[in-house]
Structure 1
Amino acid sequence: MAEIKITQTSDPDGDPCAERRLRGRPQVRPDCDTRQLIYEAARHEFSDNGYAATSIESVARRAGVSTKTLYRLIPNKAALFEGMTSDRIDRFLSEINLEAIDHAEIDEALYAALMACADLALDKEVVALQSMVLQESGKFSDLAGAFYRNGIQRTVTALADWLTMQQSRGLMKLDDAEEVAGMLLGMVADAPRRATMFGGLPLPSRPQIEARVRKCVALFLRGYRAA
């Protein structure tokens, strides 16, 4: 699947579209803003209707752009799905900077990091997309792979990088940070996500998620806290 590459310019405050907005011409929406509208519309369409039933036309209509504009920016539905999942993780990583989570106590630092990941993994829309991927991956061979590469694996890698940083500070002893990150995310999210996807149960409330993460932190640090 072709990778969607986005060339951006940025201002000192980090807005990639600011330079083009400041030019003394009539305001024309930059392509990066239009992509954001398209990805947002695609996220709703895919989670509401499924992959097969979602069309480029329905996404364009929901985003308020023409199909010609959408095709100019994103060549096909497969690239749209891949770009949409990648964009969701990009926004998660920009909004929740795991590297900035630096409490003096490792218990609180790990709790904060896992809560950030739980907010993504147990997000209603993300769970709906994962359910859709499981249902339709048999018909669309690369659907699951795109979701795994751009969603699940990038979250694991972000948490693994944070765990490695804690190990370098002498707060943990890890053999394989990537493997441990996957285990931690599984402890936090897998059971409640399965209960929702297969059992029809509601996703846990915020207090329930917080209590679950606290238990996961306590169990994990029994084996991995540095002496």
Structure 2
Amino acid sequence: MAALDRRPSEARNGELQKRKRSPSAEKTAQTRHMIVSAALAEFLERGFARATMEAVARRAGVAKGTPYRYFPTKEALFEAVVRQEIASAVVEVNVANRSPGEKVGAFLRRTMSPAMEVVERQGRAALARLVLTEGVRFPVLVEIYRREMFDPLLNQLRYLAKSAREGGELKSDALVDHPELLIAPIWYGIVHNGLLDRSQPLDIGALFQTNLDLLFDQ
């Protein structure tokens, strides 16, 4: 009988010990975020080829093997960086966030324009340049970026272009045929600022706004 009385207490003690050993979900998410943020800094400073998981761990302030608990390879870590630092822009332009009756042009100015104004400061432009410069040696970077960022964004813009034509907002059908026109100035600005002329950087936000003025009726 005494043994039976001890079982609930023993079970509780075992559960407490388990909780002490296992990190909380909040702690796990925080560590993961720290690793991904450190990886972004490492990739931008050293490039993908020279970056190492050990260096990422040092930047994040975690043990050398900790990044591998979350990301089995450097490619998987890069994918997480793209998702955390860049793919959020796709969420902002999601058509589900468009208010009832809101014109497409106004929606793009409300969602994409603010993102383009800080694209350089937030490191998104630099990460895109990393894909451009190292994508030939590491095609997986291009595949990750295309799958996580480029294709979803282009699909959203394609739908919005058709909606804009139906609403009579466009100056021509060019945007419906080539939705890439919306992001072409962004990519030109990214290439210009990092590769063509770093001494005279372009305002990518202004380029995007000007492009909207050219494509949409006011």
TM-score for both structures, normalised by structure 2: 0.70
1:49 aligns with 2:46: yes
1:213 aligns with 2:199: no
Q: Which amino acid aligns with 2:134?
A: E
| Mean CA deviation greater in 76-85 or 127-136 | 127-136
How far the C-alpha of 1:129 sits from its partner, in A, is 1.9
Q: Which amino acid aligns with 1:209?
A: G
Q: Is the 8 A contact 1:47 1:129 kept in 2?
A: yes
**5+ unaligned residues in a row in structure 2: which ranges?**
1-18
SS of residue in 2 equivalent to 1:66: coil
**5+ unaligned residues in a row in structure 1: which ranges?**
1-24
Q: Is the 8 A contact 2:154 2:180 kept in 1?
A: yes
1:113-152 matched pairs, under 5 angstroms: 113-119=111-117, 121-123=119-121, 125-152=123-150
| Mean CA deviation greater in 129-138 or 174-183 | 174-183
CA distance in 2, matches of 1:34, 1:178: 43
The percent identity for this pair of structures is 23
How far the C-alpha of 1:63 sits from its partner, in A, is 1.1
Q: Is the 8 A contact 1:92 1:120 kept in 2?
A: no
Q: Is the 8 A contact 2:87 2:148 kept in 1?
A: no
Structure showing the higher helix proportion among its residues: 2
Do the aligned partners of residues 95 and 61 (structure 1) sit closer, same or farther apart at CA in structure 2, a change above 3 Å counting?
farther
| Mean CA deviation greater in 100-109 or 37-46 | 100-109
* Matched residue count: 194
1:52-63 matched pairs, under 5 angstroms: 52-63=49-60
SS of residue in 2 equivalent to 1:52: helix
1:1-227 matched pairs, under 5 angstroms: 28=24, 29-93=26-90, 99-102=96-99, 104=102, 106-119=104-117, 121-123=119-121, 125-163=123-161, 166-167=163-164, 170-172=167-169, 180-187=178-185, 189-201=186-198, 202-205=200-203, 209-210=205-206, 212-221=207-216
How far the C-alpha of 1:136 sits from its partner, in A, is 2.1
How far the C-alpha of 1:104 sits from its partner, in A, is 4.6
CA distance in 2, matches of 1:43, 1:108: 32
Do the aligned partners of residues 176 and 120 (structure 1) sit closer, same or farther apart at CA in structure 2, a change above 3 Å counting?
farther
| Mean CA deviation greater in 94-103 or 70-79 | 94-103
How far the C-alpha of 1:90 sits from its partner, in A, is 4.3
In structure 1, the residue matched to 2:4 is none
How far the C-alpha of 1:216 sits from its partner, in A, is 1.3
Q: Which amino acid aligns with 1:86?
A: R
Q: Is the 8 A contact 1:41 1:59 kept in 2?
A: yes
How far the C-alpha of 1:100 sits from its partner, in A, is 3.1
Do the aligned partners of residues 32 and 214 (structure 1) sit closer, same or farther apart at CA in structure 2, a change above 3 Å counting?
same
Deviations 1:97-135 (A, max 9, x none): 664344755543332244045246555612222222222
TM-score for both structures, normalised by structure 1: 0.68
Deviations 1:184-222 (A, max 9, x none): 0113x12222211222335434xx724x33321222125
